[in-house]
Structure 1
């Protein structure tokens, strides 16, 4: 199974596991948050209920303490053996200070009323029903008082009033004894409503709904804020009095909200919402990161596929020179595996031993931060089997996402095949050049025969005349000696002339290795001049040569440059081979020029006064095998441009004023003339 297939099968399982973990995490967090909110609500409910219970207990304590103070005040009414009238006055003052009491009675031991006083704050309670209807409760309270030998209470009862309403009252009986003998009773009637309004703190009545209730929940008296909300906190406290028991009930006017009981629960809920929001953002970020990881994995797979398909070797190194990455093309190039190369430092195993010092020095310069040339540089590597091969290295800094250089990235091209092709191309060009020279000699064979006939005919004539003079014997030597000497000199001159023509053709045709040397431009022109003059005489062309003053020597392969000059001259003379051109002039000029800011260049120009070059021909003029002549091969100008460019120059053409075309090429100078 391939790595890609294994990765494809592992992705669904990893995705399912990740989703399961996230689901469990979300459920746990939601459960925890719900539990926190519920516990916070319960805690706050318990706090409210506990505070309500404490307030109810304090309210009962306040009522009981007030009842005890009232008992003491009632006992004080009997101080000094008062008369009914004086007692009534003191009782009125007492009732004016205690609104919770609606009636105070002084009774004798037979339960007959000696004196009584009603509260000044309301209509007498017993005016409508009479005091006799409540006699049983008073008797019960006093019976309890005799039994307890102290204050006692009877159960509460309802007394209707004249206004159609009523009041719930509570009877207190206080026995009056002197020297252990019962002398009577003090009976005080409490209004439970006024007890709630007068004896409890205003804070309690303002914040709670407070009431006295019976054991079954029946309300006897009610005071405080009305109910609010659907649910009310309730606290009940028993107020155990001598002879009876009352239930004090407090209802909180503040209902318990379902969501936010108070600030703590709200805070917990807000934090829970924030946590859920953070989880949602985290989930969103995780999804984005998962997508980014998925895209990155696809990008890495795409990049690896591209790197594996490259024929260019790639190698990455850190700033210490250790190899951190190689692609398959590089491993195939050097014959080592990536395991053998990764982590390797200098010297690299693919460095030839004879170049280790040179390469280490070059790498030290590179690791110091010096940028390599953008076009790259050539080097020689060694395969694992020991064979050498040339490579072109292109290096660039390796920059991370933070913009910091972490090493160097290098690209390698095996240029062995390129060098082989270049060598084949060079050999082919030399063969083509030799073939072109031979073709040129073949075309000029007839001209050479005509040119050689002249010196040979002259030699033949001078030789025949000399033989005729010598036939007269020794006398002829004395008589015609000067003429014979002149004839021999002419024969030698004509023979030398014929030899130069033949030698120039031989040097032109002979194939040899390219050897560049410093040659004077005048010598180049003189070397081709005999061959140029041959064709010039045939086509009636006047050859004109101009060499600038103090021109230096030119550094070139003499034979190849002579061929360029000869080809351009022949093309120029053939361009003027038209019937309507009477004055035919071939101008060959040499001068010094400036190229790229440097004056170490010479310009050669060959100009004619022909019909010029048509625009459609100009685009293809230097293409191989393109020619406008039926007998031409189309290689002359192409070879000329190749030769000039191999010397570092350039070959161009432009119109010649007033008519014709001028071909111009440049060559570097050699030694200064």
Structure 2
């Protein structure tokens, strides 16, 4: 039974989907027509794409023109505001000048100077002129750019013209007025005029005329970004260009309606419609039709329609896979060629299947020579085949060592080098092992460096063990002894007790956290500890005595970073017992020399001392003889006897004082430094030296400054120095045979400063013939003397005494033109309250001997 065909109006036909209609229509076409439609379909799609692109370009161009017009309007209004503000600022400054002129607070010279300052500061101002009420120019100042025809000459009357008309308008309105600028004739640049009236005592007193360069106003008043984007001009009321350059008309044969440039104009206040600011936008695009992108898109759409539609997906997948493969291959090849590690691949039978360039460079064989080789390989050294075969069997069986194993490799040239091999399994894409990958590293240089370091450590240990000084290193805050040489172990054993005891006894800080001097506050960025103790050893050395060793030790220390990063302290102790014994013997010898020197000095002064004692002894004898004779005669009264006895006692006391002073001077005693009064010390020396100077007929003068502070010194030793210097001066004068008027020795004691340290200077000046240059060079040397009977220990001993008191001694000749008129010896002693650091600095910088 046949099925009835449904009518078109039946519900079945109404519910057919578009897909069924499309398939039915496509099947009804012939294969040729199907191919034609298949060809036209991509073309239609491309044409529709091109139409959409053109419509999009046209819409974007319209939007761009609208945005350009809006931006142009906004920028021109902004530029107009800037020009307006600049005009108002200059107007306010001109009005200030006018106000000062009206109040008679500004003279002509002041007006000229202020006008000159404004013109030099603001380039748009060309001239400022002061005109009185009779239109006579009182003063005028113009810029160098103003032409001669535009200059205002002082004393002239304002000529009839625009300025005169503006003058009348200012007189009537009594307020600032601007002129209406017009384009200048010839080379004359147009100027904008501003006249501000003067009102002294509410009367019209003239005007202040300011002239602006419209071109400078445009150049400096318009923002730079506006000038960069637009062609900006200033026009007058009739549309004539006053400043700036307008754009030339555009010509486009295809689109004539696009020849007009995008422009916008606005009047400039406060000038009004007489000055208009106009901006024309530069052409920034070629339009829709002239756009290269439009034609490029259209051409590519036509030329690549089939490629873009028919093969896009297939080509995209293939290109992505190919690019990924190329990138991966290039990456791995670059990585293999850049590393210095040799790579070698073996199959499961031990045949070489791959070597990289680094492996070839290390062995000297090419890739073609190595690939395919089986054991024994060409780079195996002869004589080591058994060992290398065993290593290869372990390698192929999977018995690999995590740290690799070391072998010797032979180059093609026959030389050998040490290498370390690391082995890992080689897995293919299916997860099956196909062989072994071996990496080889040349370790010849690290082995050589390691051997050199071992030898260097042995040499370093031998040197430290052979030192005559004890060396020990211990970490801070720990009882561990990091290092000790042979002498330390011999003295203190292998414990840190000796190290810590030496540090404590020497006063070396156990922590470098308390620096001194200029380095206070300087800390290491990593450890947070001061830099100074870490960077260098202590500047001073401590000397200690170890009773358990019976030795004097010189202890030095410094802080260092140990090999494990810990902060440690190194102590170096040197045996200085022989030196201390020698110093003590030298001190005893110096003490004996001082005593001998005093005895020699008193021996030389013996006759003078005897003559000095003869006077009081003679006076005592005379007083006693007189009293005896007067008692025998019975003429001696009790009052006269008392007077004679008092005089006799005074003379006896005087003789006793001389004897006591001489005994104290020559008495051998230990150096005793105490707070000594400079006046008393100098007085004692003067009394003893005056006896010797009178014997040589030499006059002694002295000057001691008042209120001198005390010094820490041994008075007897300093007196010995002064007496020796004054006695030498007297002998030099006697040897020079000076006349009586020139026979004088002067002693001066004054305070002074030496490199910031307060000291007391003693100087002895004579009038002898001075010292020869060769004598000055060796003056203070031991056993050097200019006297035939001298021992050469006097001045050397004097210098030693002064330097033992932390002072310095010097000698120099005195000149009158080129003639030597005498010699001066000087030395200084530090005050008792002077700091040790200042004394040390002064004693270091002050020369030991001065010629």
Structure 1 residue 586, shift from structure 2 partner: 0.8
Mark the runs of 5 or more structure 2 residues left unpaired by the alignment.
1-351, 364-410, 412-416, 420-440, 515-527, 835-851
Which residue of 2 is the match for residue 306 of structure 1?
A: 463
Which residue of 2 is the match for residue 72 of structure 1?
A: none
Q: How does 1:151-300 map to 2 (within 5 A)?
A: 271-277=355-361, 283=419, 285-300=442-457
Which residue of 1 is the match for residue 78 of structure 2?
A: none
Select the residue among 822, 825, 831 that pairs with 1:663: 825
1:495-554 residue CA offsets vs partner (Å, 9 max, x unmatched) = 222112111110001112222222221211221223211111111100001011221122
Paired with 2:500 and 2:668, the residues of 1 have a C-alpha distance of 39
Which residue of 1 is the match for residue 779 of structure 2?
A: 621
TM-score under structure 1 length normalisation: 0.52
Structure 1 residue 584, shift from structure 2 partner: 1.0
Q: How does 1:582-601 map to 2 (within 5 A)?
A: 582=739, 583-599=742-758, 601=759
Which residue of 1 is the match for residue 709 of structure 2?
A: 552
State the number of aligned residues. 387
1:374 aligns with 2:531: no
Paired with 1:349 and 1:394, the residues of 2 have a C-alpha distance of 14
Structure 1 residue 314, shift from structure 2 partner: 1.5
Paired with 1:494 and 1:349, the residues of 2 have a C-alpha distance of 67
Structure 1 residue 557, shift from structure 2 partner: 0.8
Q: How does 1:264-663 map to 2 (within 5 A)?
A: 271-277=355-361, 283=419, 285-321=442-478, 322-332=480-490, 334-336=491-493, 340-341=494-495, 344=496, 348-349=497-498, 362-364=509-511, 369=529, 374-378=538-542, 380=544, 382=546, 386-387=548-549, 389-399=551-561, 406-473=567-634, 476-478=635-637, 483-578=640-735, 580-582=737-739, 583-599=742-758, 601-658=759-816, 659-663=821-825
Paired with 1:580 and 1:515, the residues of 2 have a C-alpha distance of 40
Change (3 A) 1:359 1:504: closer
**Cα pair 1:351 1:382 within 8 Å, conserved:** no
**Cα pair 1:350 1:381 within 8 Å, conserved:** no
| Root-mean-square deviation over aligned CA pairs | 3.2
Paired with 1:398 and 1:588, the residues of 2 have a C-alpha distance of 55
**Cα pair 1:316 1:410 within 8 Å, conserved:** yes
Structure 1 residue 318, shift from structure 2 partner: 3.1
Which residue of 2 is the match for residue 240 of structure 1?
A: none
Q: Max radius of gyration: which structure?
A: 1
**Cα pair 2:492 2:498 within 8 Å, conserved:** no
SS of the counterpart of 2:735?
Answer: coil
Change (3 A) 1:607 1:359: closer
SS of the counterpart of 1:661?
Answer: strand
**Cα pair 1:395 1:410 within 8 Å, conserved:** yes
Paired with 1:295 and 1:286, the residues of 2 have a C-alpha distance of 14
Q: How does 1:1-20 map to 2 (within 5 A)?
A: none
**Cα pair 1:608 1:656 within 8 Å, conserved:** no
Paired with 1:387 and 1:525, the residues of 2 have a C-alpha distance of 47
TM-score under structure 2 length normalisation: 0.42
Paired with 2:577 and 2:505, the residues of 1 have a C-alpha distance of 21
Change (3 A) 1:671 1:396: closer
SS of the counterpart of 1:576?
Answer: helix
SS of the counterpart of 2:707?
Answer: coil
Change (3 A) 1:636 1:307: same
Higher relative contact order (CA 8 A, sep 6+): 1
Change (3 A) 1:491 1:531: same
1:470-514 residue CA offsets vs partner (Å, 9 max, x unmatched) = 2112xx134xx5554443333223222211211111000111222
Change (3 A) 1:427 1:303: same
1:569-606 residue CA offsets vs partner (Å, 9 max, x unmatched) = 1111111113531121111111111123132x211111
**Cα pair 1:378 1:390 within 8 Å, conserved:** no
Which residue of 2 is the match for residue 117 of structure 1?
A: none
Paired with 2:558 and 2:710, the residues of 1 have a C-alpha distance of 42
SS of the counterpart of 2:557?
Answer: strand
Change (3 A) 1:505 1:313: same
Change (3 A) 1:350 1:579: closer
Structure 1 residue 300, shift from structure 2 partner: 3.0
SS of the counterpart of 1:578?
Answer: helix
Paired with 1:534 and 1:285, the residues of 2 have a C-alpha distance of 94
Paired with 2:650 and 2:446, the residues of 1 have a C-alpha distance of 97
Structure 1 residue 382, shift from structure 2 partner: 4.8
SS of the counterpart of 1:409?
Answer: strand
Paired with 2:747 and 2:503, the residues of 1 have a C-alpha distance of 53
Structure 1 residue 565, shift from structure 2 partner: 1.0
